[in-house]
Every structure is written in C-alpha cells, then in structure tokens.
A and B are shown apart, each in its own frame.
Chain A
Amino acid sequence: MVKKFGVQKLVLLLFSVMLLFGAAACSSNNTSSDEKESGGKTKLTIWIWPNMGIEKQIEQYAKDNNIEVDIQTSEFEDVHSNLTTALAAGSGAPDISAIEVKGIDKMKANPDHFHNLLDLGAEDVKGDYLDWKWQQALTADGKHLLGLPTDIGPQAMAYRADVFEQAGLPTDREEVAALFNTWDDYLKVGEQIKAKTGKALIDSPNGAYTVLEGQGDEKYYDKDGNIIVQDNAQIKKAYDFAMEIIDKDLTAGFEQFSSEWGTGMLNGDYATILAPAWMMTSMKATAPDASGKWDMTLLPEGSGNWGGSFLTIPKQSKNAEEAYKLIEWLLSPEQQLVTFKESGNFPSTPGIYDSEEIQSFTSEYFNNAPVGKIYAEAAQNVKPIIEGPESIQVEQIIGDAITRVKDGQAKPDASWDKAMEQLERELAR
C-alpha cells in the first residue's frame, strides 16, 4: 500500500510539473502588458534607454494620477531589438516604447504593430511640434501616426577654452564663433592649434562627417524613397571633409563614446566636439570632472539634426488610452522644457524656443554658456531631413569607410568604393 501510494503521489507530482510547463508556455501570450489590476491601479510598462532624462517626470505623473509605472532601461540598440522581437512574438511588448528617429522608419513599414495615435487624439497637439519631426513618425499615406516626438538633435560646437588659449586663439564664445564662418576656416584654426599645442582639432572624423551630412537638404534617400548616397553632393562633401581632417592629422583618432574618448575629453586632447544637444548629457556622464573646461558656440555653415526620438504605443498594450495620456503630458511643451533643463535633450516643440526659460538657460558644465539660446538658434537652422528604412546600415558602412582611412588601413577613394560595393550587396539582400 505504502509503495502504491508513493507512486501515485509521484505521478501526480510529475503531472503537475508538466502542467506547469504547459501552462507557462501557453500563458506567455498574455503575461505582457495587461497587468491591469495590481491593487486596482493601472500599470504601464515603459521601455527607454539611459540619458533620456524623463524618468523623474514619469514617476511624478504616476504619483499624481494614481497609476503604477514600470520603467525598464536598456541600452539603445537593445530597446530596438527587444521591441522588434516582442512585436514579432506577439507578446512581451511594453505599453510605451521609445524609438529613435532612424528606427521609426523601419517600424513604419509595419504600422499595424502600433496604436494609431491619431485615433487617440494626437491631432489636437499636432501644432505643438516641429512639422518635419511630426512627419517622420507618420506613414506615407498620412493616416497612421506611430509616435509623439521627444527631443531633437540640433547641433552646435563644444570647445576647450584652455586649448584655444594655448594656441593663441580667442576664447570668448562670440569671438570663437566669428573664427569659423566656413568649414575651411575650421580646418585653418585646427592647423594653428596643431602647430602651437600639438593637440588635435576634433575627437573623431566620424563626428565631423555626421554633422556635415546633416547640413544638407537630403541624406541617403530622396523623398520618393530612392537611395541617393552616390549622387548626393552633401554626402561627398561630408566624406571629403572627414578625409581632409585625417590627411591634415587634425583628429585625435578616438572612437566616439569609447572610454578612451572620455579620458581625452577630460584631458583636453582635442579642442572641439561637434555636439548635438543630447551630447551634453553624454559628455557630463562620460567626463564629469571636465566640468567648466568646455564651452559652447555655434557651428560653421548652419546646423543639422542628429538623433532624437519618439514615444510609441505598441498594439499589444491593453492600456493604450492611459499610455497616450501619459505621453501627451510628458511630451507637452511645458514638460519638454523640464526635460531640457534636467538633461539637455532639446525640445521638439518650437513654441517654447523663444521663451525666457530656454533663452536664459545656462550650463555650468559648459562654463555657464547660454546653451538654451545656442541650441534654440541651432534648431531654427535645422533642415527637415528624410531618414529611410536602412539609414542605420548606410551610416555604419560609411562610418567604417572613414575609420579604415583614419586607421591607415585604406586610401580615401578605395575605402569609399569598397563601402559602395558593400552597400549595394547588403541592400540587394
């Protein structure tokens, strides 16, 4: 009897284990976003990456509106690939996810995976945002809006006043800006810095490339979605400029966002960084001890946009209306102003560019430069740019071409040809 009872119990136990596995496999369909009733509160899961500067406001909103939020931060690339995987799997996507400007184009090919924000009332706030930025999240037929814009990336130039002084150059913001009317002037100043101090003009030629390509009217795609990398004169100009920097030995040769880049930033190994607004946060995080050593002024030949993101609501979210309320509040001009002050990410709402609060905003890290005023002016100079579905790939291929030349592994023309071959091959797939 005892033995029999033992076997039965065991069989029962094993069956329950199997059932548990079965149940776990089935229930994965609905574990994701609809954890609606946790103590009667709506719970919103939010995916962002570090330095977006919006965590505190989200938490404040949750407190004020009696909802629960679960903010999950992962690395920039991971947010995008996790989201893609979750959308494909049909489960696991958050209620709100950040998507970067180059990622949103890919998602626009499959708008059905996202709630249409126009249906949730986004039309009412359209006027608050920059039109070109708004268009980036809108499908070609203009009927489906995937996300509301967070920040934009207008560009300016951070420079080391101490290095300029050593080189016998003016250090005052206005006077520095007057030194650079064209990119050629910029190179000339670089040669003087090199000759007098032995230091480099710029952290990386790749940074210069990205800035210059952003100053044109078009980038990799024309408005009909055709690839125009080969024919776009602005890209040629940006590439050639990067080559000139390398040829004249004006680059410090750092890889941007590497740890050595940060040490160089602290030590003043390079005199300038061409910096979109969000770079301010990045610099503060990378080289906090360099506070007060950097200063800020405008770029030669206009500005350009680098980066900037959107907040989207994946279709899997069961709390779309609550989620929309949150992002509408969070991305309103007033709250974007708070974000800007907190982190330096520049608002996508032009209505506040002339406000006293932006115009008078200074940053201690940048030697009390009026960064609000500088980036507001840069933002007015940003030309609307079309990103395309494979922008990230194109950018990487050309970036590699520049790095090859920088590392002395290839000649400029050969490296460019190789990049174009690679591009053709990858896009054909």
Chain B
Amino acid sequence: MKQSTKDHISGYLYISPFFIIFGVFGLFPIIFTAYISFHKWNILGTKEFVGFNNYQLLFTDPLFWKALGNTFSIWFISTLPQLFLALIFAFILNSALLKGKEFFRLAVFLPNITSVVAVAIIFGAIFGEHYGILNYLLSFIGVEPINWKASYLGTHIAISAMVMWRWTGYNTIIYLSALQSIPKDLYEAATIDGANKMQQFFYITIPMIRPMVIFTVILSTIGGMQIFAEPLMFSGNGGGALDQGLTMTLYLYEEAFVRNSFGYSSAIAWVLFLIIVLFSLVNLYVTNRIKSAE
C-alpha cells in the first residue's frame, strides 16, 4: 500500500467516530421515525401501513393545534423578557463599578446546572394554590389565592418563569463575553468625538453584539419549541384538565408512551421538526433584515 493511500485512510479513520455515532444514534432514528410515521403501530403488535393517514389526522386534531399554540405562547412569554434581562445583567456584570464580579458571574450561571426536574418541583410548590409562597405573598396586598395550575395564562406564566430562571444566566454569560470582546478603543474614540453614553450604547455596543443576539434567539427558539420536562412536572399527565400545559413534545410523549400510538407520535415528531426549521428560518430572516436595515 502506498504511503499516501495510508494517509488517506488514516484521515478518514480519524473522523469516523463522529459519523459512526451519528449514523447509529442520529440518522437511523430519524429515518426510522419517518418510516414509522406512515404506519399504525402500538409497538407490541404488527405495523399496519396507513400512508399519510397519521398526518391527515394530525391536521384535524384540535389537541395538536392546542399544543402548538401553547408551545408558542410559552416560548413568547419566556424568551423576550429572558433575553432582555440577560442583556441588563450582562451590562451590570461588565461595568467597572461592580465589586465581586467573579461571585456574581458564577451566581448568575448557577441555575443553569440545576436539574430541570428539581426546578419544576420547586416552582410547582411556589405556584401552589393552597400553600404556595406566591399566593401567600399576594395575600398581603389583598389578592385572593390564584389557582395557577388551572388556567392557560397561569400555567404559561409559571412554566415561563422556570425557563427564565434557568436560562437567563446562560444568556447573560454569552452576552458578557460579547461585551468584553468589544475593543475599548472604540469607546475612547467615541468619547473624544463627543458621543454620550447613550449614543455609545446604540451605535457601538448594540451593533457589536448583534451576532450573539441572533445566536441566542435561535437557541432559545429551538429550546422553546422542545420544552418538555417543565410542563410535564407542572401540569401532570396530558398537560392538565384544559390541556393548558400541553406542549408539542409533551403531546408527542403522551401519544407514544402513554397511548402507545407510535405511528401518530412519529408523525408529530416530523411535523415538529419541520416547524422548528421553518421558525428558525423566519427568525434568521427577521434578524438579518434588522441587520441590513442599518
């Protein structure tokens, strides 16, 4: 064997682990899911080919639309304030005035490594109707106990609170690194040119960190579309009596592992995938538009 051939082979071998693992755990499940989605299958019995029936059912299924609506509602309530807050935190952490920066940086990131199930249990207790601390605090200003778990808005707010608590710090750290990568000279030059703090913020800081903002928006979008553990723990099986906590992934899980309709569940998985792609593209388009509007 020629040395150059050997070098080629060794090169491919170097990169092969990723492709092998991706093939086994990534590609195969994706293709198999697509195959299953054309069948009626409860995984114990035999598969029955039903063509596009599952997809047809899906588009006339009110629960699916409800799950879609809930997912977007929770995403919207959680993402916007979250990113806004993260930006503010990042500014505070970046300011020269703050003492004990290391401590606060760690503290702000800490929620992110907490187990999501633990978060859901604690927030479940906070938002409890009878013994929840939130209702207890509200009682001081004369508000009657609110049954957070019973309404759409209450449930969505509670779940969004969990998402925000857990991910704000994560985004803060990303923004912070973006802020720190802005060269100091720019600010110095601007100061010499007579730009005030506000002008510096809008004409230097914001444009410089825009790529990171786009990055966090896309990440939060994908994360928000896949939200699962929080609604499961907070609203219980099926997302509650009004399906107020039913999200796309929770619906997918219910269909597969509670009702054993694996074909239908696979169809949901594929539609969810397409929605995420579509939504990410829309996001990208919008954020790019803002960029080029400069």
Contact = CB atoms under 8 A, between A and B. Distances in A.
Interface of A: 7, 10-11, 14, 17-18, 21, 25, 77, 81, 84-85, 87-88, 106-107, 109-110, 113, 252-255, 259-260, 263-264, 269, 392-393, 396, 399-404, 407-409, 425-426, 429
Contact of B13 (A10, A252, A259): A10
Interface string B239-257: 0111000000000000001
Interface residues of B, number: 40
B17 A113 contact: no
B44 A259 contact: no
B264 interface: yes
Interface stretch (B126-134, B157-165, B191-199, B209-217): B126-134
Interface string B121-152: 10011001111100000000000000101110
Given A260-B128, A407-B241, A110 B10 contact: no
B171 interface: no
B257 A25 contact: no
Given A88-B44, A254-B130, A409 B150 contact: yes
A11 B13 contact: yes
Interface of B is mostly: helix
B277 interface: no
Interface of A is mostly: helix
Contacts of B260: 84, 106
A401 B241 contact: yes
Nearest to A261: B130
Contacts of B241: 399-404, 407, 409
B184 interface: no
A113 B130 contact: no
A25 to B, nearest CB: 7
Contacts of B128: 259-260
A10 B150 CA distance: 60
Nearest to A85: B43
A7 B10 contact: yes
Please provide the 7 A-B residue pairs with the shortest distance between their CB atoms, ordered closest to farther.
Answer: A407-B150, A403-B241, A88-B43, A400-B241, A110-B44, A81-B257, A14-B13
Given A87-B44, A253-B147, A429-B57, 11 more contacts: A11-B10, A85-B257, A254-B130, A255-B149, A259-B124, A259-B128, A260-B132, A399-B241, A404-B241, A407-B147, A409-B150
A263 B130 contact: yes
A88 B61 CA distance: 27
B193 to A, nearest CB: 58
A264 B130 CA distance: 9
B289 interface: no
